[in-house]
């Protein structure tokens, strides 16, 4: 008989980013994500997010889109190096976290968009671990 399952709470998770391993094999998945973000119905909401002009009705759909992308990355199905080099997940999280936290409270689903929140933390680690490509 198997022993008890030991599970650490998500707050105890201290995952290190997996950077620097993008290959040509990662291109089709990455291009698919780019296509989803830059075509309607997502592109207008994404453009508003980038300019700080998102509408209330944009926020949960965008957060869930970032959750889906984050889930792929955190499960090793999308290379994190590409994700954090192309997207500012921490910036997006800061803009959307109020709506996400309200949805968590309203629904009682504390796991809603948790991968997006974790990806935002990893995006900060990415920037700290990588020097800017642009000379100052």
Residue ranges of domains in the chain:
27-129
Taking all residues of the chain, what is their mean pLDDT, rounded to a whole number?
A: 87
User: Would you state the pLDDT for residue 130?
Assistant: 82
Task: Tell me which of 19 and 77 has the higher pLDDT.
Answer: 77
pLDDT band at residue 122, thresholds of 50, 70 and 90? Answer: very high
Q: 57 and 16 in contact (C-beta within 8 Å)?
A: no
Segment 84-96, tens digit of pLDDT: 889 999 999 999 9
Q: What is the CA radius of gyration of the chain?
A: 16
Given a cut of 90, whether residue 80 has pLDDT beyond it is no
Task: Specify the pTM.
Answer: 0.83
Nearest-angstrom CA–CA distance, 81 and 26: 10
């Amino acid at each position: 008989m198997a022993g008890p399952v030991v599970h650490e709470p998500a707050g105890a998770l201290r995952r290190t980013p997996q950077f620097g391993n993008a290959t040509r094999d990662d291109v089709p998945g990455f291009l698919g994500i780019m296509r989803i973000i830059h075509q309607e119905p997502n592109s207008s909401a994404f453009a508003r997010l980038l300019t700080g002009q998102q509408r209330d009705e944009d926020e949960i759909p965008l957060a869930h889109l970032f959750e889906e992308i984050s889930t792929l990355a955190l499960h090793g199905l999308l290379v994190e190096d590409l994700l954090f080099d192309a997207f500012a997940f921490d910036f997006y999280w800061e803009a959307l976290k109020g709506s996400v936290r309200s949805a968590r409270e309203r629904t009682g689903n504390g796991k809603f968009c948790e991968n997006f929140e974790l990806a935002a933390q990893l995006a900060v680690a990415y920037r700290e671990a990588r020097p800017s490509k642009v000379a100052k």
